Chains A and B, each alone.
Chain A
Amino acid sequence: MKRSILLSGLFILCILWKAVPAAEELPNVKDIVDRANRVAYYAGDDGKAKVSMTITDSQGRVRTREFVILRKDVSDGGEQNFYVYFNKPSDVRKMVFMVHKKIEGDDDRWLYLPALDLVKRIAASDKRTSFVGSHFLYEDVSGRSIHEDEHTLIGTDEKYYILNNIPKDPSTVEFSSYKIWIDRKSFMPMKAEYRDRDGKAYRIVEALEVEDVQGHPTVVKSRVKDIINGGETVSIFDDVTYDIGLGDIFTERYLRRAPKEARK
């Protein structure tokens, strides 16, 4: 079984591996960011992965989540749709979380709660809320728009481009800046480190394992760490497949009755 993410390197950021740049020539910041965005979130036209998430709190107590995630791009590097179908814990089985990611304006988000037979829209004005209690945020899942930050290339070493990113509207986020390490060969973002208002690092998002899946570099294991309080969430991506030919399943109709791609 190949592990790899699919969906985009969902949770992680990544870049397109195909675009390996000519070695000597340094691309400009905009190119790096753009490529990284495509590698991390737009591999293939669509994709699927089984995700198991292990949340470990500061006391070492462990909770798990298992879900299937489906993704389909509306346009490469542009709008895309996500469909997350929960299998575990068992009492949230069949719960669905769906996102229509926009480039301009707020995303549309839905939550389906089978036990309450309820489809709920979730206002997406703030994407920096927890993803089902894990250390990942919604924005880690669907990707932070590259237009929301000012990016600066602050260093380059043998392996990485190192970028600093400052939010254009600091009032909408809890961080003051974040640094990102982008693999020079694959353009996969490998690590992001967030700093709080005092400039102190408090959160690290990392790609722990990257594999090639159908020619796409794909994060198959990633982790978020809370450096201040302790605790972390590790996501493992199994059965990653791209270009599976997903139909038009990203609609409210499919929330109550999950498509077969999600169920198996």
Chain B
Amino acid sequence: MKLGEKAVQLSVNSPRIVTFIMVALTVLLGLLISMVRVDTDPENMLDEHESVRVFHNAAKKEFNLHDVVVLGIVNEKHPDGVFNVDTLRRVHELTEFARGLQHPDRAEWHVVKRDLMAPGNVDTIEQAGLGQVRFEWLMQEPPETAEQALKIRESAMNNPLLKGTLVSEDGKAVGIYIPITSKEFAYYVREKLLEKIESFSESSDDQYHIAGLPVAEDTFGVEMFIQMAVSAPLAMMAIFILMLIFFRKIGLVIAPLIVAMVSVICTMGLLIGTGNTLHIMSSMIPIFLMPIAVVDSVHILSEFFDTYRHTRDRKKTVERVMDELFTPMLYTSLTSAAGFASLALTPIPPVRIFGLFVAIGIMIAWLATILFVPAYISMLSEKRLAGMGEADGEKETTFARNLRRLGSVTYVKHKMIIAVTVLALVVALYGITKIQINDNPVKWFKKNHAIRVADTVLNRHFGGTYEAYLILEGAGESESLPDIASAVSGRIEAGAVIKDNPNLLLKASAIIKEEASRAAGPEDFFNAVIKKWDERMDSADDASYDFWVDTLDLIEAVKNREQVFKRPDVLRYISGLQEHLVKSDVVGKSNSVADLVKKVHQELLEGDPGQFRIPDTVPGVAQSLISFQNSHKPDDLWHLITPDYKKANIWIQLKSGDNKDMERVVAVVQEYVQKNPPPVHIKAEWAGLTYLNIVWQDKMVWGMLKSFLSSFAVVFFMMTILFRSPLWGILAMVPLSVTIAIIYGIIGITGKDYDMPVAVLSSLTLGLAVDFAIHFIERSRMVFKKTGSWEKAVKEMFQEPARAISRNVIVIAIGFTPLLASPLVPYNTVGMFLASIMAISGIATIFILPSLITALEGRLFRK
């Protein structure tokens, strides 16, 4: 390796210059980090112009829907649940407090006061004595007596729009739904509410829980950065300690740490300096980069440590070690980088950025390793290296002895090892078929995290804290003007009034005919006809007035035929769909304009439960709706229907935010619509954060699979080139294939969800698992050349090379255990994965590779 030699020469001869350049570059790029812009919104997993996201935002705007923080107050001890004077007073206080929340620096981040849903801010319609109805705030002022408190419970329970949403059906919980103008404001709201709750001095049995996807997502964002600042340095510490145990020289083990820090700082500087935001994904770059950056230096140190005691010449040792390791290091870095770079093929922008920058970071780490580590070693004084490796004396350590024994096992029992491997693969493949694709941002927190607890408690009491919106749109068919005109005439002729007025009917028909021939289009036609009718009405006598008024209704009914969501049959269809949805146990509750019409209709008719139904005519529906608009908050209607009555929103509350549950809801709706065609053509589309999550998950899963397969192919290709033999190439792929199969097999068998972190980790698995194989094979071939016999070569392979691999396994696997203590599940997952990748691929390399080589010796080492 000419290039490699030159590089090493440069480092060894001018170590100070190399070091200076590296430090200067790192400082420079490190300064860019201060320009960081943070983005914690998982919605950005979808491209801004992605159609579902565009639709989601349009629907939110059209129906005035906001992201919601759910504050639940639960009292399980008081006999009246939360409906006692003290609890309701606190509910009132919290409502007033929440109303005024506003971010101190960002004026556009605030609570949407008008849409705040709390007992003090919802209107209810109820009976007010004989033949009267009343629109009343559910709780204008906190009650003063137990009786008043129970009255509030009664009103809330009688209102199907509130029961299960605002108050739990068991009366033990009440919810305050706090709409916010930006999801990024959710964490602030939670913090302020917790502060306020903390300030309640008197003791009570009330429990307070804060839930909802926006809070979970925003809180995750905040805690993620804390984890980045805590876990990464902790892992660094652990790695440092482990290396110290192996190599005993502080001066020596600092080198890998410097390489890791340099690569992390340079990569993050580049990422931020190029104008990218720090997203949930990119915040994980340091954690991914560190083990990869450390691996190569550990190989160098391990070799150096083992060789130095024989040569006692720093420079010569470094040169020899680098000569042996240059090619494998280049290839391991290229393959790892290729694994991550393949993420650029996924359709998810943050994942693309993540993959690209980890790949860049890996190459930075490689550069730092081959240039800086030799320079660093040659700057160490011989004195500091003195005695290195001597502690072991000439006696073999237990560690080394056991490894050596193992070597002969792989030679003698290679058939058995291959058989065991095949068996393990069969089990693993079975496990892979059991893999369950699922994710839920709330489950990114550990079970005992306040957010998870809140989620569990509130979803036990309420209809659900996860929201999805099914947006229905009447798809209008375009009709020709003559068709419309004849529809109008037909309606009028069929009307009962006409029989008595043959003359008027003739006049009416004449007007319609005339206007139809004159009008430019339907709109124009209706305007002209209605104008004529108005003129007739103005000049009509009492008898003919009725004719004109009644027929005008018929004309306008045709004109308004696109207002499908005033039609009783359509509303009944919606109700039917809602009933069907609630039968699937994931949907806790749903609200639609149909529920509202029914409730108003019932209260208009003396509160008779039998009248909780959709009126039979369009005007009946329209008049129920206009009655509703005589309330304090008439605009609440427009969350459920648009003012042109052409679109409606079914607000669905889910008890679980698991993607598989949302997927089931989508399937249930689809099935229902297929089996029960709606009375008019209706287009149904989904919106809501819970739904968006399944869309990006889907993209993630298939995108990852594609990127994984392509990087698998690329790595195989590179292996074939490196070893100039497809057979060796295939051999090199064995340990990583076994590792991936076993890891994902375990995920399938243990029932752990295949979620976002697990999906992303497949690239890391590929990149890391191939490393040991490259080192092992490259060295095997060198040693074979030297010894001329595989049997002899195996023995040597289980000296330094096997020790380097084992040390790496232990350093990385144990070094990242601090991640297991993180309160965030994705960090635990990464920790578990790193340990598994290292352990399994290490074992696979040390056991399976030599066994296979033994079995295929004749073909592999053809002369």
Tell me if A57 and B629 are in contact (CB < 8 A). Answer: no
Tell me if A113 and B133 are in contact (CB < 8 A). Answer: no
Interface digits, B56-93 against A, CB 8 Å rule (1 contact, 0 not)? 00000110100000000000000000000000000000
Tell me if B620 and A90 are in contact (CB < 8 A). Answer: no
Tell me if B141 and A171 are in contact (CB < 8 A). Answer: yes
Given A61-B644, A91-B560: A116 and B626 interface contact (C-beta under 8 Å):
no
Tell me if B623 and A116 are in contact (CB < 8 A). Answer: yes
Residue of B whose beta carbon sits closest to that of A226 = B114
Tell me if B114 and A91 are in contact (CB < 8 A). Answer: no
Tell me if B623 and A121 are in contact (CB < 8 A). Answer: no
B679 interface residue per 8 A CB criterion: no
| Complex interface: stretch among A74-82, A125-133, A240-248 | A125-133
Contact of B643 among A61, A94, A263 (CB under 8 A): A61
A114 interface residue per 8 A CB criterion: yes
Tell me if B556 and A123 are in contact (CB < 8 A). Answer: no
Contact of B626 among A59, A95, A128, A228 (CB under 8 A): A95
Tell me if B622 and A91 are in contact (CB < 8 A). Answer: yes
Contact of A171 among B113, B128, B140, B633 (CB under 8 A): B140
Tell me if A92 and B634 are in contact (CB < 8 A). Answer: no
CA distance A95 to B2 in the complex (A): 95
CB-contacts of B354-400 with A (<8 A): none
A115 interface residue per 8 A CB criterion: yes
CA distance A106 to B61 in the complex (A): 39
CB-contacts of B592-637 with A (<8 A): 601, 604-605, 615, 617-624, 626-627, 629-635, 637
Question: CB-CB < 8 A to A228: which residues of B?
Answer: 113-114
Residue of A whose beta carbon sits closest to that of B629 = A133
B671 interface residue per 8 A CB criterion: no
Tell me if B629 and A130 are in contact (CB < 8 A). Answer: yes
CB-contacts of A24-82 with B (<8 A): 57-59, 61-63
Tell me if A126 and B619 are in contact (CB < 8 A). Answer: no
Contact of A59 among B61, B131, B538 (CB under 8 A): B61
B803 interface residue per 8 A CB criterion: no
CA distance A143 to B619 in the complex (A): 30
Tell me if B626 and A118 are in contact (CB < 8 A). Answer: no
CA distance A228 to B110 in the complex (A): 12
A175 to chain B, nearest CB (A): 13
Tell me if A91 and B631 are in contact (CB < 8 A). Answer: no
Tell me if B627 and A129 are in contact (CB < 8 A). Answer: no
A156 interface residue per 8 A CB criterion: no
Tell me if B132 and A120 are in contact (CB < 8 A). Answer: yes
Tell me if B630 and A130 are in contact (CB < 8 A). Answer: yes
Tell me if B61 and A114 are in contact (CB < 8 A). Answer: no
Residue of B whose beta carbon sits closest to that of A172 = B140
Give the size range of A's interface with the partner: 35 or more
Tell me if A91 and B566 are in contact (CB < 8 A). Answer: yes
CA distance A118 to B606 in the complex (A): 11
Question: CB-CB < 8 A to A132: which residues of B?
Answer: 626, 629-630
Given A89-B622, A115-B622: A121 and B131 interface contact (C-beta under 8 Å):
yes
Tell me if A121 and B132 are in contact (CB < 8 A). Answer: yes
B126 to chain A, nearest CB (A): 9
CA distance A131 to B629 in the complex (A): 7
Contact of B538 among A91, A130, A264 (CB under 8 A): A264
B549 interface residue per 8 A CB criterion: yes
B100 interface residue per 8 A CB criterion: yes
Given A129-B632, A130-B630: A113 and B623 interface contact (C-beta under 8 Å):
yes
Question: CB-CB < 8 A to A90: which residues of B?
Answer: 552-553, 556-557, 559-560
Interface digits, A198-210 against B, CB 8 Å rule (1 contact, 0 not)? 1000000000000
A260 interface residue per 8 A CB criterion: yes
Question: CB-CB < 8 A to B542: which residues of A?
Answer: 260
A153 interface residue per 8 A CB criterion: no
Tell me if A126 and B605 are in contact (CB < 8 A). Answer: no
A118 to chain B, nearest CB (A): 6
CA distance A95 to B620 in the complex (A): 11
Question: CB-CB < 8 A to B131: which residues of A?
Answer: 120-121
CA distance A183 to B577 in the complex (A): 57
Question: CB-CB < 8 A to A264: which residues of B?
Answer: 537-538
Tell me if A131 and B622 are in contact (CB < 8 A). Answer: no
Contact of A93 among B140, B553, B605 (CB under 8 A): B553
Question: CB-CB < 8 A to A111: which residues of B?
Answer: 627, 630
CA distance A95 to B629 in the complex (A): 14
A88 to chain B, nearest CB (A): 9
Tell me if B623 and A91 are in contact (CB < 8 A). Answer: yes
Tell me if B631 and A116 are in contact (CB < 8 A). Answer: no
Tell me if A57 and B623 are in contact (CB < 8 A). Answer: no
Tell me if A123 and B133 are in contact (CB < 8 A). Answer: yes
CB-contacts of A212-236 with B (<8 A): 228-229
CA distance A51 to B415 in the complex (A): 96
Interface digits, A130-163 against B, CB 8 Å rule (1 contact, 0 not)? 1111000010000000000000000000000000
CA distance A143 to B338 in the complex (A): 76
Question: CB-CB < 8 A to A113: which residues of B?
Answer: 604, 623-624, 627
B545 interface residue per 8 A CB criterion: yes
A122 interface residue per 8 A CB criterion: yes
CA distance A218 to B100 in the complex (A): 40
Which of A91, A133, A228 has the most C-beta atoms of chain B within 10 angstroms of its own C-beta? A91
CA distance A114 to B553 in the complex (A): 13
B136 interface residue per 8 A CB criterion: yes
CA distance A126 to B140 in the complex (A): 11
Tell me if A229 and B629 are in contact (CB < 8 A). Answer: no
Question: CB-CB < 8 A to A120: which residues of B?
Answer: 131-133, 604, 627
CA distance A138 to B629 in the complex (A): 12
Question: CB-CB < 8 A to A260: which residues of B?
Answer: 542
B55 to chain A, nearest CB (A): 17
CA distance A56 to B538 in the complex (A): 29
Tell me if A115 and B620 are in contact (CB < 8 A). Answer: yes
Tell me if A125 and B134 are in contact (CB < 8 A). Answer: yes
B784 interface residue per 8 A CB criterion: no
Question: CB-CB < 8 A to A128: which residues of B?
Answer: 632
Tell me if B129 and A123 are in contact (CB < 8 A). Answer: yes
Tell me if A91 and B619 are in contact (CB < 8 A). Answer: yes
Question: CB-CB < 8 A to B557: which residues of A?
Answer: 90-91
B430 interface residue per 8 A CB criterion: no
B225 interface residue per 8 A CB criterion: no
B574 to chain A, nearest CB (A): 19
Question: CB-CB < 8 A to A93: which residues of B?
Answer: 549, 552-553, 619
Tell me if B634 and A91 are in contact (CB < 8 A). Answer: no
Which of A93, A260, A264 has the most C-beta atoms of chain B within 10 angstroms of its own C-beta? A93
Question: CB-CB < 8 A to B618: which residues of A?
Answer: 91
Question: CB-CB < 8 A to A131: which residues of B?
Answer: 630
B259 to chain A, nearest CB (A): 56
Interface digits, A234-264 against B, CB 8 Å rule (1 contact, 0 not)? 0000000000000000000000000010011
CA distance A83 to B619 in the complex (A): 21
Tell me if A130 and B604 are in contact (CB < 8 A). Answer: no
Interface digits, A171-206 against B, CB 8 Å rule (1 contact, 0 not)? 100100000000000000000000000100000000
Interface digits, B301-328 against A, CB 8 Å rule (1 contact, 0 not)? 0000000000000000000000000000
Given A116-B615, A122-B133: A57 and B632 interface contact (C-beta under 8 Å):
no
Residue of B whose beta carbon sits closest to that of A55 = B643
Question: CB-CB < 8 A to A129: which residues of B?
Answer: 123, 135, 630-632
Residue of A whose beta carbon sits closest to that of B114 = A229
Question: CB-CB < 8 A to A122: which residues of B?
Answer: 132-135, 630
Question: CB-CB < 8 A to B188: which residues of A?
Answer: none
A172 to chain B, nearest CB (A): 9
Question: CB-CB < 8 A to B723: which residues of A?
Answer: none
Which 9 A-B pairs have CB atoms at the shortest separation, nearest pair first?
A133-B629, A115-B619, A90-B556, A91-B622, A123-B128, A123-B134, A121-B132, A133-B634, A115-B620
Apart from A61-B644, A123-B132, what are 7 other A-B pairs with CB-CB below 8 Å? A58-B64, A92-B619, A113-B624, A116-B624, A121-B133, A132-B629, A263-B549
Q: Can you offer 7 A-B residue contacts whose CB atoms are under 8 A?
A: A90-B552, A91-B618, A116-B604, A116-B605, A120-B133, A129-B631, A130-B634
- Chain A positions within 8 Å of B, measured between CB atoms, are 57-59, 61-63, 89-95, 111, 113-116, 118, 120-123, 125-126, 128-133, 138, 171, 174, 198, 228-229, 260, 263-264
